[in-house]
Structure 1
Amino acid sequence: MREDRLIEIAPQYGLRLSSPGLLLAQRRFASTQPVTPADEIAILNNQREKRPTSPHLAIYQPQLTWIASGFNRLTGVALSGVLYGASLLYLLHPVFPAIDSAHLIQLAHDMPIWLKGGVKLLFAIPFTFHTFNGMRHLGWDMGKGLTLKATYASGYTVLAATAVSSIYLAFFV
């Protein structure tokens, strides 16, 4: 097709030529108009309301790997929070004289055995899980146990070690 013929038929099909022989782009058939920033936000919010939401985790089958990973993060945050909270509480001893070692020891001594064991178990489970899962992650950092079979084996080992050591710490120490 000759160049002059292209120049003649290009406007019919909504095409522009930037220079003779150079086809640039198709003409827009949608009209545009200036929009205020407030209208832009309203349009955007309207589009977001109509957008479908992702099903996120509900469509996935629970797996040991991501449950253990999430629980490891939760136990880390919980243990850190308890440590900081207890430290701040202990620093408040001058303001609240009832918070000292002697009173805390007497409180623990006066608890019934079942309550004492339950409280110890409540602290032992996240502590032992976080410890054993941290050792598992250190192994992964060294390049050990990265196959799928080894990952699941180490995950079940962490769960078993957590159960045994938590019960031991709560009721036999």
Structure 2
Amino acid sequence: MASQRVFQLGLRRAAVPSFSKVQPAGRMVQRRLAATQHFGESEGQQILAKQRLRRPVSPHLTIYRPQITWYASSLNRITGVALSGTLYLFGIAYLAAPTLGWHLETPSLVAAVASWPVFVKVGAKLAVSFPFIFHSLNGVRHLVWDVGLGFKNVTVTQTGWAVVGLSVVGSLYLSLLA
């Protein structure tokens, strides 16, 4: 391969006349002659503003019909950040608790949650269970995609709505019955 490349370069150098004063021997140099004119700062800004007005504008997302893949992708990222952020915050608070005088031991947390009204407990369970279940199920969906399955538009839409439905049912089960 290298010998072919050397041969091609040699042919190119032999084919191009060398102008020793203008360019190094055997080098191909492209020249473009252009008329130039000096403009002041304000004139240059005006020219740029006129050019920007004539540029085509690409369509924005608002012209497209929303799809389940957009929402599922966004919600997957949001739930991932929420879950990991909550884990990090609790971990830091747990480590700092003895220094700050907080009681984040298990018996203290159980006693605090036991004193909450039922609707607050259910709401807290929903707030934790839905992101966890959705992120887990959508992660399985992405793992299936990594294998190379389920890339048809119909399948992607069906699995997206299935993940949403199973997440709602699973989080309601965990927060109401469990």
TM superposition score normalised by structure 2: 0.69
**Aligned AA (2:99):** V
1:99-114, aligned counterparts within 5 Å? 99-101=103-105, 102-114=107-119
Q: Kindly indicate whether the alpha-carbon contact (under 8 Å) linking 1:75 and 1:126 is maintained by their aligned counterparts in 2.
A: yes
The two structures, once aligned, show a CA RMSD in angstroms of: 2.7
TM superposition score normalised by structure 1: 0.71
Given the superposition, is the C-alpha separation of residues 34 and 93 from structure 1 closer, same or farther in structure 2, using an over 3 Å criterion?
A: same
Q: Kindly indicate whether the alpha-carbon contact (under 8 Å) linking 1:140 and 1:146 is maintained by their aligned counterparts in 2.
A: yes
Match of 1:88 in 2: 92
Distance 1:121 1:131 in 2: 15
SS at match of 2:136: helix
Q: Kindly indicate whether the alpha-carbon contact (under 8 Å) linking 1:92 and 1:99 is maintained by their aligned counterparts in 2.
A: no
- Higher RCO (CA < 8 A, seq sep 6+): 2
1:29-44, aligned counterparts within 5 Å? 31-33=36-38, 39=41, 43=45
**Aligned AA (2:158):** A
Residue 160 of structure 1: how far off its partner (Å): 1.2
Residue 27 of structure 1: how far off its partner (Å): 5.3
Given the superposition, is the C-alpha separation of residues 27 and 94 from structure 1 closer, same or farther in structure 2, using an over 3 Å criterion?
A: closer
Query: Residues 61-110 of structure 1: CA distance to partner in whole angstroms, max 9, x if unpaired?
Result: 11001111111111111111111011111111112223322321111110
Give yes or no for the alignment of 1:169 onto 2:154.
no
Distance 2:58 2:34 in 1: 35
Query: Residues 38-66 of structure 1: CA distance to partner in whole angstroms, max 9, x if unpaired?
Result: x49x939x749x65876632222110011
Residue 25 of structure 1: how far off its partner (Å): 6.0
**Aligned AA (1:65):** T
Distance 1:54 1:78 in 2: 33
1:51-70, aligned counterparts within 5 Å? 56-70=60-74
Given the superposition, is the C-alpha separation of residues 60 and 33 from structure 1 closer, same or farther in structure 2, using an over 3 Å criterion?
A: same
Given the superposition, is the C-alpha separation of residues 88 and 145 from structure 1 closer, same or farther in structure 2, using an over 3 Å criterion?
A: same
Q: Which runs of 5+ in 2 are unaligned?
A: 1-30
Q: Kindly indicate whether the alpha-carbon contact (under 8 Å) linking 1:129 and 1:159 is maintained by their aligned counterparts in 2.
A: yes
